[in-house]
């Protein structure tokens, strides 16, 4: 089951500047900053009611975020859906013809296991499924 929009991911060039900007916008500091070396990103998370905003800056030029920013401006990069059983949703969506970037969930930021759906099968939107790691 898909429970809610867990967070919106926003690609930024300078996470220090964007942290300050979003802290001002949202009236709260990020509750967490975390580097996910495997994904080539520095992240920070802001709580927004029941959802979150994730800022993402590339750690190196081969990072998916660096490649994204070569083609696109800073802005919304992905939406993340909170699910209660990620393995079930992967099987369900594959059977329905969606293209997933991996067949198995991977460890992501903020204590989640995650998988991405390719934007070619989701109207151009990069969609992340995430579930809390126990």
Residues binding Zn ion (CB under 5 A): 9, 54, 80, 128
Q: Give least dist CB 126 to Zn ion, A.
A: 9
Nearer to Zn ion, 97 or 133 (CB): 133
Q: Minimum distance between the CB of residue 80 and Zn ion, rounded to whole angstroms?
A: 4
- Helix H, strand E, coil C: the string for 35-96 is EEHHHCEEEEEEEECCEEEEEEEECCCCCHHHHHHHHCCCEEEEEEEEECCHHHHHHHHHHC
Residue number with CB closer to Zn ion (42 or 80): 80
What's the min distance (Å) between Cβ of 45 and Zn ion? Answer: 9
Instruction: Supply 107's token pair.
Output: 């460890």
């Amino acid at each position: 089951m898909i429970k809610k929009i867990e967070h919106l991911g926003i690609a930024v060039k300078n996470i220090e500047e964007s942290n300050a900007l979003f802290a001002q916008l949202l009236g709260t500091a990020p509750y967490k900053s975390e580097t996910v070396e495997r994904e080539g990103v520095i992240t920070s998370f802001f709580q927004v009611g029941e959802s979150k905003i994730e800022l993402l800056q590339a750690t190196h030029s081969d990072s998916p975020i660096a490649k994204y920013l070569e083609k696109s401006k800073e802005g919304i990069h992905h939406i993340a859906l909170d699910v209660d059983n990620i393995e079930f949703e992967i099987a369900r969506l594959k059977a329905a013809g969606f293209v997933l970037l991996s067949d198995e969930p991977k460890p992501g930021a903020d204590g989640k296991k995650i998988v991405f759906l390719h934007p070619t099968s989701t109207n151009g939107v990069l969609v992340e499924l995430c579930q809390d790691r126990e």
